[in-house]
Every structure is written in C-alpha cells, then in structure tokens.
Amino acid sequence: MPPANLIDGRAIAELIHSETAQRIATLKARGIEPGLAFVRVGEDPASQVYVGMKERSSTRLGIRSTTQVLPTATSESELLQVIDRLNQDSQIHGILVQSPIPSHINSAAIYSAVSPGKDVDGFHPVNMGKLLLGDRSGFVPCTPAGIHELLVRAHVKIEGAEVTVLGRGNIVGKPMAALLLQKGRNANATVTLCHSQSRNITFHCQRADIIIAAMGVAEFVKEDMVKPGATVIDVGVNRVADPAAKGGTRLVGDVDFVNVQGKAGQITPNPGGVGPMTIAMLMANTVRAAERVTL
C-alpha cells in the first residue's frame, strides 16, 4: 500500500498567516495595530521555547507583542494584578498566560481573570460555554481550532463522520469534541471521547473515520487500531529515551507514525502537523479581537 498523504500543517499554517497578514494590513490602514501580551511565570524550558515561537510569529506578521516574565515564586494575587492591568490596557487586544502555571497558583482562577474579549487562548469559561452552545462569537481554543482548519483545508469529510478523540483534557479533547459535534457546516460528526478509564479504546479507534490523538502517551495509536483510509491527527508531544539521539532523548507523538502512515488515508506528521496550526490560530484570534474592538 502506498504511503498515506501527509497533511502539511506548516503549509496550511502559512496560508492562514497570509490571510491574517491581509487583515492586519487593513487594520493598520485605519491606524490600528493589533497588540498581544504574553505572560510567563517561571523558567520552564518548554514554555520559553513556545513563547519565543509565538513572539517571532507576531513580529513577522506585524502584531505588536509584549512579554512579561514573572518569577516562579509569584503569588496568585500578583499574577492577577498583572492580568487586570493588561485587561485595562486598550493597546492590548489579546492576552495569553503560558502554561504550565506553577502549582501554587490556581490556573482556573487565572484563566477566568482574563477578559473574555481578550482571551485569545479560548480558555475563559465564557468562551468555553459559547463553544459548547454553538455560539460563534467566542474564541475557540487554538489547538482544536487549528485541527479543525487542518481537516477542512485537507478536504476531510467531517459531516456524518465517526470521530474518536483520545484524551479529555480542557485544552484539546473536550473543546475538540464540542467543535466537531456542532450542528453546522464542517461539523455534524458523531464523536466518541475516550480517556484513561475508557474500555476497549482499540474498538472505538477501529471504527473511526477520523482519529484525533491527544492523550499524551508516546506512540499510543498503533497500526492495528486504525481503519484503512482513516484520517489520523497526532497532537501529542512526548519525550522518550533514545541513546542514539542528541541528549539521549527525542520527541514523538501519540501515534506510531512509521507504522500507521501506510494504513491511514491522511495523517499529520509530528512535528510539522498540529503545532504550526496552534500558533496560526492564536495570531488569527488576536486579529479578530482587534477587529471586534474597533468595529
């Protein structure tokens, strides 16, 4: 069987960036410069890398960004004060508090403190509630939104499809399921949401037209779990031991890509699949926030 077609997240993300850049140019012609604030607490290496990537994308597109780095020992009240100040800043249209947040801080309280209109990460309860209700006026979390765009732009049939989402997290799994089961265009799927307590996950995967793997378990999805011709989206980022790799470890997804690729109809590479789309949707959400403020 010939290799499955790759869904090129980098190429699709660049297309979205070009569309976002045109919207930014329209705003700037009216004297409006979209502004995005990043808040990072502590020195988590992965967080530093992720924020750096988002900063570079902002600069390239012409979004003015600012980053506030706070010590790990920052209290919850101090972080809330920073968010309140950004909420009041009319030059800031989007606010992103980078996860993970130190464990002594209630992350739910932090995400709830960001103004819903500036919540370009889509984690505020108001935006999550709008997503569940099918209210398109809210912001959708960036990774599920990016996966949805991948499916649509790769011409994957969503309407009526059997979709298995692996993982029930608030960042990907739950909002992804809500997005795909909505009554509307590029939705109307039948969604099965599996998690660590689900029985016979293999059965649910084998009948799926689309598998979205976001469990955080290295190479969990094996070839025998995938129906021939199914679309497979790999969200996971897992570090595994590899003596042959630099530093003794390497990153893999939640899908056994080498073996699944030949059976799937379409599949995302990892890296190069979902990751670039998450950033693309963050930039698009920020511009949308600026457009809404200036209507």
Quote the pLDDT of residue 2: 42
Quote the pLDDT of residue 181: 97
pTM: 0.95
Does 121 participate in catalysis according to the annotation?
Answer: yes
Q: Does the fold of domain 142-275 match that of domain 31-117?
A: yes
Strands 35-41 and 94-97: parallel
Confidence bin at 247 (pLDDT 50/70/90): confident
User: Class of the 31-117 domain?
Assistant: alpha beta
Separation between Cα atoms, residue 110 and residue 213, nearest integer Å: 27
Quote the pLDDT of residue 1: 39
Quote the pLDDT of residue 294: 62
Domain coordinates of the chain in residue numbers?
Answer: 31-117, 142-275
Segment 141-167, tens digit of pLDDT: 999 999 999 999 999 999 999 999 999
Segment 160-212, tens digit of pLDDT: 999 999 999 999 999 999 999 999 999 999 999 999 999 999 999 999 999 99
Helix axes 173-180, 125-133, angle to 10 degrees: 30
Quote the pLDDT of residue 30: 94
Does 44 participate in catalysis according to the annotation?
Answer: no
Alpha helix stretches (DSSP H) within the chain? 9-29, 45-61, 76-88, 107-113, 125-133, 142-153, 173-180, 201-206, 257-260, 274-293
Q: Which of 98, 227, 254, 261 is catalytic?
A: 98
CATH architecture label of 142-275: 3-Layer(aba) Sandwich (3.40)
Spatial neighbors of 213 by CB under 8 A, at least 6 apart, are: 166, 167, 220, 221, 232, 233, 234, 235, 236, 253, 254, 255
Mean pLDDT along residues 237-258:
90
Q: Which of 118, 119, 121, 209 is catalytic?
A: 121
Quote the pLDDT of residue 3: 52
Q: Has residue 295 got a pLDDT over 90?
A: no
